[in-house]
Amino acid sequence: MNDLLQKPRKVYVSRTIEFNAAHRLFNPLWTESENFKTYGKCSNKYGHGHNYLLEITIRGFVNNNTGFLFDLKELKNILEEEIIARFDHRHLNHDVPELRECVPTTEVLAVLIWDILEERLLAINNREISLHEVKLYETGKNAVRYLGE
Amino acid sequence: MNDLLQKPRKVYVSRTIEFNAAHRLFNPLWTESENFKTYGKCSNKYGHGHNYLLEITIRGFVNNNTGFLFDLKELKNILEEEIIARFDHRHLNHDVPELRECVPTTEVLAVLIWDILEERLLAINNREISLHEVKLYETGKNAVRYLGE
Amino acid sequence: MNDLLQKPRKVYVSRTIEFNAAHRLFNPLWTESENFKTYGKCSNKYGHGHNYLLEITIRGFVNNNTGFLFDLKELKNILEEEIIARFDHRHLNHDVPELRECVPTTEVLAVLIWDILEERLLAINNREISLHEVKLYETGKNAVRYLGE
Amino acid sequence: MNDLLQKPRKVYVSRTIEFNAAHRLFNPLWTESENFKTYGKCSNKYGHGHNYLLEITIRGFVNNNTGFLFDLKELKNILEEEIIARFDHRHLNHDVPELRECVPTTEVLAVLIWDILEERLLAINNREISLHEVKLYETGKNAVRYLGE
Amino acid sequence: MNDLLQKPRKVYVSRTIEFNAAHRLFNPLWTESENFKTYGKCSNKYGHGHNYLLEITIRGFVNNNTGFLFDLKELKNILEEEIIARFDHRHLNHDVPELRECVPTTEVLAVLIWDILEERLLAINNREISLHEVKLYETGKNAVRYLGE
Amino acid sequence: MNDLLQKPRKVYVSRTIEFNAAHRLFNPLWTESENFKTYGKCSNKYGHGHNYLLEITIRGFVNNNTGFLFDLKELKNILEEEIIARFDHRHLNHDVPELRECVPTTEVLAVLIWDILEERLLAINNREISLHEVKLYETGKNAVRYLGE
């Protein structure tokens, strides 16, 4: 490779995917009316849904041979296995074991996605990359970012 | 008003709204496996969901006094009452009586929205406008248009 | 050119530009309160503004030599001279002579843009193209189309 | 199915895909300077490229049993085989036999895509659907529509 | 709540709103030609306008009971009262007292919005959240971020 | 200027531009099949292309007289000279001398753009601003950020 990569260059690479899921905001420890007071129409019995947009950012140094931070085909496979298979075309309250005792807010879902991906990326044991940020859009107007803090 | 509106001018005015709903593609006359063959993961038991984007287009001649085709505040109210109240934060299979015996595909939902809005706009008895098109995006990649044909 | 253009092919070519303008919806023949009743906060005294997005569509047959319907550089120049120079960074009520006796609604502005561009395109005397549609977005949610009818 | 589909309903279903390709606007019958005069920097020797966005619209009547116009999974497969395999990650001038004697403008590419898809859809021999429109965006600002006329 | 929230989780929650306003870039201490030299057509006398897109980000720890960082309905109300009521459908130079002696650039407007929202959020006296960032898009191409530094 | 700017205010100003380029991911030190193993169809012989979207962010304190961080007209000129002139309508592997011995991945391109712009901005010798971030989108789904680390 050329001079550009003679000094280490730390980059942040983002990949965006979409999954379509239903959810209901409902805390089983509360009454119906307590739930309605906190969650409004988001607590409707059968749930509603979203086209969730998920932006995953990893960080690390550019590889001198490939010019990549990380092989995006491999990242795409990881996201298929860990995210799409778990959440896409699912009802988050019923179909996702990790969320069964949770209220599946965007905040909670972003945190869960972080935990899943961090564990998977650590298993690769590639010192060059770390998970930097999970950004989850519930709609075009609402988003939650979690950075592992 | 000025010379611009001395001759009649036929315009098409579009208004876009969003609603968040869950649905399940499932024909109750078929077995589970027949449903899965046709609808794949869209037939998962508890449903999934979308941020539906709905673009309503009305057509007619510009009013010489107001410069409007139709008062957008009134159109906004109609869409609140007829669309948001019916579909937003709902599970289409369970919560929408008009869809109970349907498979709530985007096609069927677009047709239903047309029927609802056409009836409501006819009730206004304003000769200047007619419903021109219902365009419904299920995701950024899939859309259905219905023009009442 | 090749076989693809041996038979005439009628295409619709769209070009999108943006201009930033202020306007006030106010009919000088009416009182302040009549204006407020019709236009609400759009009638506020000093006006407000928008990033108008304008999509111009021309139609005609693909030229056998160039593979173009029309030279987009020439179209870009026309739009600079006729649209950007007239409307961009202007207050539509004060700065645009053609709109002085109008209420500059999106409908009226779309009609005016049609009249300006149709005259200019006719002057080119190129039989291959005609103006097909003016589509003007006031916001991401509201748009008006005019097709010269 | 329910009452909604008791009368035939004609819908237009759109599916959007993206492909990334290089091209050079260059007519081999002309000199370099004639090409530069017509195509400007689009005639640069090695070509440049785009994220082409392609919106395919088919039309027909909603199927009474499925609630679909057409199985989108099947449409997706057709687009993979006919469009992605041919154009994605290709240099249009070098890699696409159908374009070798053409100037691969957006107009020409839209017409070619129409011819390919119309032939493929006719082969399905499904009377319910016809190809309605090919819309191809070269950038967010430029698009060409072809409807088979 | 479940195990996911047993350790504190710091999240960043963003909410986006739009307001439509006019403004003129003009420093009253300078001559017309000095203003034109600095601000170009942005100094035109009656002003022009924009669809401002405002993204507010707050940060803090996810609440163990609700799964929320902060009630988005309450945030929505705050933004209605503090931002929409002040700026929407206004001419920033004439209608906003806080901006009367300012040149209402995007930078200045972002700083003002920060000051307004920080004071309001401090008044809630909710230790869990702080204002993290104000991001203001004047157009799709230009944005200013202010983080209170 | 007014009270708002009596204390220093550090802002981040972003400007987005687009350029259309072709590239081929190919390491000349490797065989064809090694390249295909790493880069897949991105290593196709003649290259493919993208509408690259580039977001440049500069940071510094708002100027008390102008209300600007930096004159956006000047920034626009710099981006025309340094970015558009170099990369737009080019084949990155053939036409950009700085990339000739590189694999022109998005990572490498983002780093090169940083180096070019940082040098240019330092030459202005304006203490108020520094380059903060280069963000380069190859497609709507993939982006790389580089902050000079």
DSSP output for chain F: --GGGTS--EEEEEEEEEEEEEE----TTS-HHHHHHHHGGGG-TT-EEEEEEEEEEEEEEPPTTTS-SS-HHHHHHHHIIIIIHHHTTEEHHHH-GGGTTS---HHHHHHHHHHHHHHHHHHHT-TTEEEEEEEEESSSSEEEEE---
What subunits touch chain F, counting only 3 or more CB pairs under 8 A? A, D, E
Min Cα separation D90/chain B (Å): 23
> Where residue B126 falls among pLDDT bands split at 50, 70, 90?
low
Catalytic annotation, pick one of C18, C74, C81, C89: C89
Give the catalytic positions of A in this structure. 42, 89, 138
Contact (CB<8Å) F2/E101: yes
Cβ contact (<8 Å) for D111 and C2? no
Is there a contact between B49 and A23 if contact means CB atoms under 8 Å apart?
Answer: yes
Partner-chain residue, chosen from E27, E140, E146, that has the shortest CB–CB distance to F11 = E146
Q: Is pLDDT above 60 for D1?
A: no
Q: Which of residues 119-138 of E touch C (CB under 8 A)?
A: none
Q: Which residue type occupies B44?
A: N
Confidence of residue C84 (pLDDT cuts 50, 70, 90): very high
Compute the average pLDDT of residues E16-34.
Answer: 97
Q: Are A24 and A47 in contact (CB under 8 A)?
A: yes
Half-sphere exposure of A35 toward its Cβ, with a 13 Å CA cutoff? Answer: 15
Q: Please state the length of chain D.
A: 149
CB C5 within 8 A of CB D108: yes
The CA-based angle D142-D143-D145, given to 5 degrees, is 160
Average pLDDT over residues F81-91: 98
**pLDDT band, very low/low/confident/very high, at E89 (cuts 50, 70, 90):** very high
Chains E and C touch (3+ CB pairs under 8 A): yes
Using a pLDDT cut of 90, give the percent of chain C over it.
91
Minimal Cβ distance to E142: which of F67, F71, F72: F72
Q: Are C96 and C90 in contact (CB under 8 A)?
A: yes
- Which chain B residue has the Cα nearest residue D53? B141
Backbone angles phi, psi at D14, to 5 degrees: -115, 140
Beta bridge partners of E50: E21
Give the span between the Cα atoms of D87 and D52, in whole angstroms. Answer: 10
Tell me what pLDDT residue B81 has.
Answer: 98
Instruction: Catalogue the active-site residues of B.
Output: 42, 89, 138
DSSP secondary structure letters along chain C: --GGGTS--EEEEEEEEEEEEEE----TTS-HHHHHHHHGGGG-TT-EEEEEEEEEEEEEEPPTTTS-SS-HHHHHHHHIIIIIHHHTTEEHHHH-GGGTTS---HHHHHHHHHHHHHHHHHHHT-TTEEEEEEEEESSSSEEEEE---
Mean pLDDT of the region E35-43:
96
Mean per-residue pLDDT, F74-92: 97
Asked if the model's pLDDT at residue F86 lies above 70, the reply is yes
Question: ∠ CA(F139), CA(F144), CA(F147), 5° rounding?
Answer: 150
Tell me what pLDDT residue A2 has: 63
Q: What is the pLDDT of residue A65?
A: 93
Cα–Cα distance measured from residue C20 to residue F68, given in angstroms and rounded to the nearest whole number: 19
Distance from CA of residue C97 to its chain's centroid? 16
Q: Which residue has the tokens 């982006």?
A: F143
The tens digit of pLDDT for each residue in E59-68 reads 999 999 999 9
Q: What is the pLDDT of residue A126?
A: 66
Chains D and F touch (3+ CB pairs under 8 A): yes
> How far apart, in whole angstroms, are the C-alpha atoms of residue E100 and residue D118?
62
Q: Strand, coil or helix: what is E40?
A: helix
Residue C23's pLDDT is 98
- Whether residues C71 and D38 touch (CB distance < 8 A) is answered with yes
Q: Which residues of C touch D27 (CB under 8 A)?
A: 1, 65-67
| Per-residue model confidence (pLDDT) at position E39 | 97
Give Cβ neighbours of residue B57 (< 8 Å, ≥ 6 apart). Answer: B12, B13, B14, B131, B132, B133, B134, B135, C145
**Span C26-54, average pLDDT:** 96
CA distance C33 to D53: 48
Confidence label for E127 from pLDDT (cuts 50, 70 and 90):
low
Length of chain E: 149
What is the model's pLDDT at position F100? 87
Give the phi and the psi of residue C11 in degrees, each rounded to 5: -125, 160
Instruction: Confirm or reject contact between D38 and chain C (CB < 8 A).
Output: yes
Using CB atoms, pick whichever of B107, B115, B147 lies closest to residue D62: B107
Q: Using one digit for the tens of pLDDT, what is the confidence trace for B33-83?
A: 999 999 999 999 999 999 999 999 999 999 999 999 999 899 999 999 999
pLDDT class of A101 with cuts at 50, 70, 90: confident
Q: What is the ipTM of this complex?
A: 0.95
Q: Which pair of tokens denotes residue C89?
A: 């960074």
Q: Give the list of residues 6+ apart from residue B49 with CB closer than 8 angstroms, or none.
A: A20, A21, A22, A23, A47, A48, A49, A50, A51, B20, B21, B22, B23
pLDDT in tens, C4-30: 999 999 999 999 999 999 999 999 999
R_g over Cα of chain C? 18
Distance CA C34, CA A146 (A): 51
pLDDT in tens, B7-45: 999 999 999 999 999 999 999 999 999 999 999 999 999
Using the structure block, give the residue that is written with the tokens 């008003």: B1
- Distance from CA of residue C135 to its chain's centroid? 7
CA F145/CA B103 separation, integer angstroms: 44
